[in-house]
Each structure stands twice: as C-alpha cells, then as structure tokens.
Chains A and B, each alone.
Chain A
C-alpha cells in the first residue's frame, strides 16, 4: 500500500513528498533511506524514506502505535537496547550512516539531543542537571561548565525564573519548568539536532505554549524533529509534517499544505478527527 510514496527518492517531483524548504539551497540534515524496523516478528516501520532539511522543524503525526516514536528514536539509536529490535536501511545524519559500525553511539548522542514525553530531570540540583552532559564528557573546566549551564538555561528561557536557586533540587520545579530544564540539559552539550517525543503531552496549556515558543526560537540553531499527538501543535510549530499510519509514511510535505489540502484521504480523515 502507498508504495509509490514510501519508496520515493529525494529528486522525484511528487508534490506530497517535497519538503517546504528548497533542498538545493540547504543541505539535508537527516535522511532515512528505505528503513524497516522489526520488533521480533512485528514490523513497526515499513520501508520509509524521508529527508529533513537543516534548521527546520519537522512534525511526525499519526495515531497511537503508528510507529512515529520508534521512527524518531532511530535518529539517536535509542531503540538499540530494546529486545528483538532489528533494522534494515540507512539513517544518515550529515550524509553519514549512523548505523555504520564505525559510529560510536555515545558520540552520536552528543550531537543528537533528545527531550522525552514526561519531564525526567535527574534527582540532583538544577545546576548539576544541566552540567551532567559536560561532566560525563570529561570536561573539568568549572568556568566553562558554569558558562554553558547559564547559557543553556537562558536559551531554554528558564534562567530568569530560577536565577537565584541553581542549587535547588530539580524535582522541586513545576512540570513545565522541569521540561524546559530537560531542554536546557540537552542544549548544554551543543547538539545540532534535537528530537522531541511528545514534549508537551504531560503539561498544562500555558506551559505547553511556552515550550512551543521555545521550539520556534531554537529552530535558528538546531534541526528539530517533534512527535506530537496534538494536531494544532503540529500545525503551529512545524515547517514540514509527516503523517504515519501503521508503520507506513502516508504523506510528507509542507505543513500548511498537509493541513489545508492533503493529498490522501487517510490524512484528511486523521487531521479532521474522523479517526485515530
């Protein structure tokens, strides 16, 4: 089903698969090529190919269990430790296959940060949470660490709220603050890509709004991929949208077009709330 979509190449001119930003001016940051994912006998991703442009925001949408989280977690190899995980095809970042044997997973994850569904700060102080990524890299220069911590907290628009209490337990923060702390923690190690797995689903609308504003800001420096359940959120924050259904990539392209004039009936039905 939909094989003419899922096996598309970047140079073919199918309207629904063309990213909004012109690929000739900017390079593809992330590329998936004919990716299959299996958990034992269950096929979670079916032959997906897709290209993501640098400094853009791409949203993955689709009903629960469609494979969007699995697909997202391919980009920092977070599926590797799951029992029975097996993958075919290539995931390329800066044109390098990250599943190649020469790639060190730890190095990869320093360049590809991740923010999770539920805020998950470490049971340490706010400062130590942000410093953690640098410390495990072996950075000893305390001045540098302090600079990065403050800079990252500012970038995550959290600094003004907690300026005087960097030594406070991170778990004492509100949910929205915790999530921005987790974003700051990811920023501190200077990644170039940030993956977000439903980052606002556990937050109230006001906190969610702050995170969305923040995502917009971060686009200037980072390539962002966000999985979301929230259709309005996808429409608000993303440049491009990919709709996944039962492991297939149904439609991928300019967010505006997908939400106003989808090519596929299934996409139409999903975004108008008729199923899923």
Chain B
C-alpha cells in the first residue's frame, strides 16, 4: 500500500513538473532573466523578482543562522532542565507547524507597522527568519545531540572549559547536520509566498532593490501574479519562472545532501 501511495504521489508530481517544463521552456531565455517586468508578456522578465529573492535570502540567512544556531546551542548545552525549558521546547516544536500566513500577519503588525520598516526587504527577511527559526533550532539541537558523549568527556577531562569543548569539538562534529538543517530551512523560505504578500511584497517593481529598506518583489509573488492573469502568455511566463525557482530549490537541496554526506564520512566514530 505504502509503495503504491508513494509511487502515485511521485507520478502526479512528475506530471505536474513535466507539464510546467513543457509550457515554460519555450519562454526561458537569457532575456527573460535579465529583463524588467512589463505589462506586455513577451517583454516581461524576472530580473527584479530574482534580485528581490537574492536580497531577501541573504538577509534571512544573516538573521536566522546566528540566532537559530545560537538558540539551539543554548537550549542544548546551557539551559537548565526545568519546567521553563520544557515549555520553551514544546512551543518551539509547535511554532514549526504554525501556518506561514500567521507569521506574515505578525510581520505586518510588528515589523512593518510598529517598527515602521514599511514594505521593505528588511521586514520581509525578518518575517521569513521568524518562520524558519524553529526549524533551524530543532535541527541544530538534533545535530548536537548526535555527537557522542565520549568526545565531550575526553575534552572535559583535559581541562577544557564548557565553551572550549563546544567550540573545538561539539560544533565541528555537528556542523554538517546544522548546515543541512539551515539549508533545508532556507529552501523552504525561498518558496514562501503568503507571508511576503501580507508583509507587502509588491506585484510590480520596475527596479532592482538597492538597499535593505527598498520595496521588493520575489519570484513566488511574481509567479502568483502572473498565473492570476487571464492572458495565456503570462501563464507561460509563470511556468518559466517556476522552472527557475525549482532550479534554485533543487540546487540548494543538492548542496545540503552533499554537505551531509561529506561531513558524515569524515565523522565516523
């Protein structure tokens, strides 16, 4: 049963992807990637969209990586086991399953309005960071837990301080796992549409962003906009943009798999 279910899932997915590629491949060209959007489908490109995606992803990484990994280290190594840490633990797991649009509303309320960042890249990146922080924290903790305690003992017995043991032994040994979690979280963030629409990603941006307080659009929002147009040509544009987005996501997942394999083979105890 399980095999039939997963095969049918894969087949349906393959049909969808095949269909998208079949539709979009004719539109895919260098011009499509470097042109600004336009109200004429044939002249439209995704330049502002993927530039926005790059900006958003860079800032999301800068915010969520140190915060998430730091929180994971703290919870795993320093936090006392008591009711408070149990409460935190359960809530972090719960946060990972909150619908993304809720994060969008939170971002709109806190970053866009209260902190008056406007519909900026910074507000978008902060919102996406909140969205993926739980995933990064959980995967960091799992990676740290997987380091054998004998390594910790050996380091402590030589007179290493707690931080020295974490820095010289625990983190290098768990870094492959941490990185895998971070990349998978980022590849989820890159496809998110709903929270960015709520935060105010624009549908039509005639310029590439210059600084983090600029307004922006991203690939998924651009796609969402195009598929909702009645004209056939815009649907084709959307298919082509989907190919680009899928390509980026596959590459990121590929890097994650590669890093995991590379670090695992190095770390055999």
* Chain B residues positioned under 8 Å from A78 (CB to CB): 153, 156-157
> Which residues of chain B from 238 to 269 have any CB-CB distance to chain A below 8 Å in the complex?
266-269
Q: Give complex CA distance A185, B156 in Å.
A: 13
Known contacts A78-B153, A120-B153, A132-B168, A109 near B269 by CB under 8 Å: no
B residues near A (Cβ < 8 Å) are 81, 148, 150-151, 153-161, 164, 168-169, 172-173, 266-269
Segment from A43-51, A111-119, A151-159 that makes contact with B? A111-119
16 contacts between A and B (CB under 8 A): A78-B156, A106-B159, A110-B158, A110-B159, A113-B157, A114-B153, A122-B155, A123-B266, A132-B160, A135-B168, A136-B155, A136-B160, A137-B159, A171-B268, A185-B158, A186-B157
**Chain A residues in 8 Å Cβ range of B159:** 106-110, 133, 136-137, 189
18 new A-B pairs (CB below 8 Å) besides A108-B159, A109-B157, A120-B150? A76-B157, A81-B156, A106-B159, A107-B159, A109-B156, A110-B159, A114-B153, A116-B153, A121-B154, A123-B269, A132-B155, A132-B158, A135-B168, A136-B158, A136-B159, A171-B269, A182-B154, A186-B157
What chain A residues lie within 8 Å of B267 (beta carbons)? 123
Q: Which 8 A-B pairs have the closest CB atoms?
A: A120-B150, A110-B159, A109-B159, A114-B157, A133-B158, A120-B154, A106-B159, A136-B160
Report B-chain residues with C-beta under 8 Å of the C-beta of A108.
159
Q: Which residues of A contact B161 (CB under 8 A)?
A: 106, 136
Q: Does A142 contact B (CB under 8 A)?
A: no
Name the A residues within 8 Å of B153 (CB-CB). Answer: 78, 114, 116, 120
Residue of B154, B160, B168, B266 touching A116 (CB-CB under 8 A): B154
Q: Is the CB of A83 within 8 A of B266?
A: no
A186 to B155, CA, bound (A): 10
- Residues in B neighbouring A133, C-beta threshold 8 A: 158-159
- Chain B: minimal CB distance from A170 (Å): 11
How many chain A residues sit at the interface, stated as a range, is 20 to 34
In the docked arrangement, what's the CA distance between A136 and B164, Å? 7
Q: Separation in Å of the A224 CB from the closest CB of chain B?
A: 15
Question: In the assembled complex, how far is the CB of residue B156 from the closest CB belonging to chain A, in whole angstroms?
Answer: 7
Shortest CB distance B151–A (Å) = 6
Q: Which residues on A are within 8 Å of B, measured CB to CB?
A: 76, 78, 81, 83, 106-110, 113-114, 116, 118, 120-123, 132-133, 135-137, 171, 182, 185-186, 189
| Bound: A81/B161 CA distance, A | 13
- Across the interface, do A116 and B150 meet the contact criterion of CB distance under 8 Å? yes
| In the complex, residue of chain B having the shortest beta-carbon distance to the beta carbon of A108 | B159
- Which A residues lie within 8 Å of B81 (CB)? 83
Taken together as a complex, chains A and B put the C-alpha atoms of A78 and B165 apart, in Å, by 14
**Please, which residues of chain A bring their CB within 8 A of the CB of B156?**
78, 81, 109
A121 to B158, CA, bound (A): 12
A196 vs B164: C-alpha distance when bound (angstroms): 23
Across the interface, do A122 and B157 meet the contact criterion of CB distance under 8 Å? no
Nearest neighbor of A134 in chain B, beta-carbon distance: B158
Contacts of A114 in B (CB 8 A): 153, 157
CB distance from B77 to the nearest CB of A (A): 11
Q: Nearest residue in B to A188 (C-beta to C-beta)?
A: B158
**Chain A residues near B168 (CB, 8 Å)?**
132, 135-136
Residues of A within 8 A of B169 (CB): 122
Chain B residues within 8 Å of A132, by CB: 155, 158, 160, 168
Most chain A beta carbons < 10 A, residue from B81, B159, B169: B159
CB distance from B153 to the nearest CB of A (A): 6
Residues of A within 8 A of B173 (CB): 123
Closest chain B residue to A81 by CB distance? B156
**In the complex, A113 Cα to B154 Cα: how many Å?**
10
A114 to B160, CA, bound (A): 13
B171 to A: closest C-beta gap in Å: 12
State the CA gap A28–B92 with chains docked (Å): 53
Please give the distance in Å from B187's CB to the nearest CB on chain A: 28
CB of B168 to closest CB in A, whole Å:
7
Please, which residues of chain B bring their CB within 8 A of the CB of A83?
A: 81
Residues of B within 8 Å of A123, CB to CB, are: 151, 172-173, 266-269
Q: Which residue of A lies closest to B169 (CB)?
A: A122
| CA gap between A125 and B150 in the complex, in Å | 17
| Chain A residues, Cβ within 8 Å of B164 | 136
Chain B residue at minimal CB-CB distance from A135: B168
- Tell me, rounded to whole Å, the shortest Cβ–Cβ distance linking A174 to chain B: 15
For B151, what are the chain A residues with a Cβ–Cβ distance below 8 Å?
Answer: 120, 122-123
Smallest CB–CB gap between B136 and chain A, Å?
24
Contacts of A116 in B (CB 8 A): 150, 153-154, 157
